[in-house]
Structures are given as structure tokens and as C-alpha cells.
Amino acid sequence: MFVNLNKRYVASVELLAACQGIELRRPLKSNTTLEGFWSDVRRVAVYWDHDRYFQPDLGATAGDILRRTQDELEIAINMLETSGEEAMLHFGD
């Protein structure tokens, strides 16, 4: 159980960082799947426009990960792994 919790928190950090990166690239849009994940994460963790305590965002995002299906998470992880220049190809889809 402890390992699963750690995995959810690691995935939460990745999702939060990806969402922050997407937000910093606005007004560009990503593909529909990633924009859906962005929207879901932003419902529970708002954009970081100032320094603040990180734990509530991690906890809320980790809880959201629990509610997702394995297939949904695999799609998001595969898209997040296409980092750098490849990820930029998805913008504007």
C-alpha cells in the first residue's frame, strides 16, 4: 500500500508539472486528451502564481489519480513521456 501511495504522489508531481508547463505555453492548446487531464487537475489544484504550500495540491491530485482507470493513466503517461520537442508537436491539435 505504501508503494502505491508513493507512485500516486510521483505521478501527481508529474501531472502538476505538466499542467504548469501547459499553462505557461498559453494561449497555445495541447491535444484533446492532455487538455482533458489539464482541466481535471486544475479543478483540484490551481495554477501556481505564487509560492505556497504544495501538499494540498499533491493530495488532491493523488486522490484524482485513484479515481482514474488504468487505461486513462497509461495514455497520459505515454503523452507525458513525449517530452521536449516531441511534446510541442501536440500543441495545436
Share of the chain above pLDDT 70, in %: 76
Give the model's confidence band at 91: pLDDT under 50 very low, under 70 low, under 90 confident, else very high. Answer: very low
Is the C-alpha dihedral spanning 30, 11, 23, 84 positive or negative? negative
**Model-level pTM?**
0.68
Residue 3's pLDDT is what?
54
Contacts of 8 (CB under 8 A, 6+ apart): 62, 65, 66
Domain ranges of the chain: 2-88
Q: Is the pLDDT of residue 5 over 70?
A: yes
Share of the chain above pLDDT 90, in %: 12
Residue 45's pLDDT is what?
92
**Averaged over 31-54, what is the pLDDT?**
88
